[in-house]
Structure 1
Amino acid sequence: MTRRPHVLVLVENLSVPLDRRVTQESRALVEAGYRVTVICPRGTTQDTEPEADVDGIRVLRYPLRPATAGALGYPREYALALWHTLRLALRVRREGPVDVVHACNPPDLLFLVALVLRPRGARFVFDHHDLVPELFLSRFDDARRGALYWATRLVERLTFAAADGVISTNESYRDVARRRGGVPADRIEVVRSGPDLDRFVRRDPDPSLHRGKEHLLAYLGVMGPQDGVDYALRAVAALRARGRDDFHCVFMGAGDALADMRALSSELGLDDVVEFPGRVPDEYVQRCLSTATVCLSPDPKNPLNDVSTMNKVVEYMAMGRPIVSFDLVEARVSAADAAVYVPDDDVEGFAGAVADLLDDPARREEMGRLGRARVEHELSWAESRRRLLGFYERLLGGPPGAGRVADR
């Protein structure tokens, strides 16, 4: 007797459905005929129920307090997350077979849960969301790297060694899996994070978001020490210092640097032109980005950002917005001609690029058109979904319902 293959998805750094990539992957698997259970932390203001059904995805959530400041906060957070994840994974396994453990990092410790379930036949897929060693290099100074950095290199290597297959978010991460992880090329698939254009849609502009100003600048994303929101705020201050008072700014998102960014905004005298609404619903995101004159991607050049695909860049492009970005390898791969690239983390240069776009509506329109077309034809979730399902068919020997998964 055959049954639907059961995929157990593990994610630690965001709740579901707040984590858009994990939700899209899980929804795609359910729509293709897989059974999917997600284990993740509870949110603080949303996704707070311990168990939920999200579009046919069973979601089990555990309580987790994020790491406190400093490198030592992460081992404490990860140890607690690993305990809860293992506890819930064993509960799921007692209820029936698990065919695939699909672990999304960080941290690079979730392979331990897969190893516990492997004797009963579960395969392990490593969904490589972040380069954790580079994350430590980018967040902490030399004095705090030390043994923790090398520990992250070790567990990354163990994760790659344990994986039956690896999903990389871009070609740079694929290269890491091959070069540093020793994973054969035929066991790696690139599945980019891209917007689902049936759900992430352009909306009518909302003039009220301008707060009476001619232009709106928008930022969307996580606010951590490595995300460059401080660079964007200093660039806004530089625009003000040039005598411009024709714009308002919305910084959407949350993270462990949000309080610091609000304090910096006040310190720079920007409270009258900058607002931080925190995490906001998709409808607000779509409305704000559809209204924005220019979108900001201020991630500074560092070992992590240079090779990481920023979801916000592709989402800006999906809304047909021009972008100002620092000159990062993967930013150019994603945005191409939809962005202006500023070298060397230059705040004054960033401010100048924004000012140039504010004064050039024809260029803004052309950049937005090129970005939207690139998403429609190359970077949307439709292409990533095809790659994901093909990867799973190769992993399990065929599509769900092909008679290859038997009761155990």
Structure 2
Amino acid sequence: MSILRVLIIVENLPVPLDRRVWQEACALRDMGHEVTVICPQMRGYTEAEEVLEGIQIYRHWISDEARGIRGFILEYATALWGEYCCALKAWRRGGFDVIHLCNPPDLLFLVALPFKLLAGVRVIYDVHDLWPEMFEAKFGKRGLLYRAVCWAERCTLALADAVMATNQSVLAAVKKRGQKSDDEVFIVRTAPNTLRTGIPADADFKNGRRFLVGYIGVMGSADGVEYLLQAARHIVLVRGRQDVQFLLMGSGPEHATLLRLRDELGLREHVAMPGRVSNEFLFTGLKTMDVGVACDPINEYNDHCTMNKTLEYMAFSKAQVMFGTREGRFSAGDAALYVMENSAEKLGDAILELLDDEPRRAEMGRIGHERLTTELSWERSVAELRRAYAYAMK
């Protein structure tokens, strides 16, 4: 395959904060391609233009992250305008052979469409999430906007020359909806490859307590962090466990609301919620925690999602507790204890069950790390990424 000029567009997170997109961009760069990324200005990444590790980055303004239907429409309208302006800038400055669209949303085909029709640019659709299921989980209803979301997904699938999915269940769904053949679809998983797992633990994170329970990730309406806060209340106030500290790392549109809930539940001394943290803080927290939690509730959307947090706990050899989503169970295997209903009390009891069984935690951590570095390894995904690009350029 000859050297390609690749334009990656991602809307919901900036790079390099979006680990999957940044790993893909770096892998493509390492293959010898020229890589440009378009992403939003948010989460502390506000430079409009920069070159980072040999990758050109254009960032655009975007409205606040959606919390309702009105915010949903405004967020995506401003994102599309910013993406299109940045794509025109990238075209004028050197052009591109491939547009790599990272959902959500599935509206990014509107940016790619004129370049494909007028200049023959190839399109790769990188499905991070099933957008219709994500919309229903966020807003809890179907209607005109839901039908528009389904239409956008079909349009993106029709436009794509190759499709990449994060896991088997997402691949099966988009293959069926887009009537794609086996040759057109590829699984590129999200395993981390640059985490500093050798960083030392820091006992100060435990706030003088014996155990640390950790969470990392987005705090939005679909992420279930309220379940973890209620589980912490059950552990501390109902089960009377004063030896457990909680560290919830991450930010998002619900962070302020969740902080208020923490305080209303009387958990300020037991639950630290520092918001967005540095990589050093994040890795230290991961190294120090005794148990990681994935509290994304069981629903049709989460059943299809491979959660980054799950893989990051495995990278640090940490046992974890999670609600038993389909893809969560596939990813973690025997490295997690599963709660098979969306119950904060049962989540809390499962956390205590693992905290009180150190040999089991150690074995789960070993299993998880081994699974991540073999079957789910990033090296395997890079090979699939290469195959997807080769197919798209045929």
Task: Name the TM tier (shorter chain).
Answer: over 0.9
Alignment partner for residue 208 of structure 1, among 190, 193, 204?
Answer: 204
Say which SS state the counterpart of residue 53 (structure 1) adopts: strand
In the alignment, what sits opposite 1:238? 234
Paired with 1:94 and 1:14, the residues of 2 have a C-alpha distance of 25
Match of 1:128 in 2: 127
TM-score, normalising length: structure 2: 0.97
Spell out the pairing of 1:243-254 with structure 2 (5 A cutoff): 243-254=240-251
Residue identity in the other structure for 1:48? T
Cα distance in structure 2, aligned partners of 1:257 and 1:344: 23
Q: Check whether the contact 1:104–1:126 (CA below 8 A) recurs between aligned residues.
A: yes
Q: 1:316-361 CA deviation, whole Å, 9 max, x = no partner?
A: 0110000000111001100000000001112111111111111110
Residue type of the partner of 1:17?
A: P
1:37 counterpart = 2:36: yes
Q: 1:113 aligns with which of 88, 95, 111?
A: 111
- Residue equivalent to 1:7: 6
Equivalent position amino acid for 1:102 in 2: H
Kindly indicate whether the alpha-carbon contact (under 8 Å) linking 1:86 and 1:113 is maintained by their aligned counterparts in 2. Answer: yes
CA distance in 1, matches of 2:306, 2:196: 18
Tell me the secondary structure at the aligned position of residue 123 of structure 2.
strand
Q: CA deviation at 1:88?
A: 1.3
Q: What's 1:280 paired with?
A: 277
Amino acid at match of 1:206: D
Q: 1:379 is paired with a residue of what secondary structure? A: coil
Measure how far apart 1:126 and its partner are.
0.6
Instruction: Map 1:272-311 onto structure 2 (within 5 A).
Output: 272-311=269-308
Report deviation, 1:68: 4.5
Equivalent positions of 1:179-218 (< 5 A) are: 179-196=176-193, 198-218=194-214
Aligned equivalent of 1:363, options 360, 365, 376:
360
Question: 1 CA distance for matches of 2:169 and 2:2?
Answer: 37
Q: Residues 381 and 200 from structure 1, CA distance in 2 versus in 1: closer, same or farther, beyond 3 angstroms?
A: farther
In the alignment, what sits opposite 1:79?
Answer: 77
Measure the CA separation in 2 of the matches of 1:31 and 1:390.
Answer: 15
Q: What are the Cα deviations for residues 365-405 of structure 1, in whole angstroms up to 9, with x where unaligned?
A: 000010011111122322211211222123224xxxxxxxx
Secondary structure of residue in 2 paired with 1:192: coil
Structure 2 residue aligned with 1:395: 392
Q: 1:220 to 1:199 in 2, by over 3 A?
A: closer
1:324 correspondence with 2:312: no
The match for 1:405 is none
For residue 200 of structure 1, report the CA deviation from its aligned partner.
Answer: 4.0
1:218 partner amino acid: G
Other-structure match for 1:157? 154
Which residue is equivalent to 1:59? 57
Q: Which runs of 5+ in 1 are unaligned?
A: 398-408
How big is the shift at 1:3? 7.3
CA offset digits 1:204-253 (Å, max 9, x no partner):
21111111000000000011111010001101100011110001111001
Partners of 1:332 and 1:202 in 2: CA distance: 27
Structure 1 vs Structure 2 CA RMSD: 1.4
The match for 1:401 is none
**Segment of structure 1 superposing worse, 154-163 or 63-72:** 63-72
Count of aligned pairs between the two proteins: 392
Instruction: Tell me, in whole angstroms, the C-alpha distance in 2 between the residues paired with 1:386 and 1:185.
Output: 16
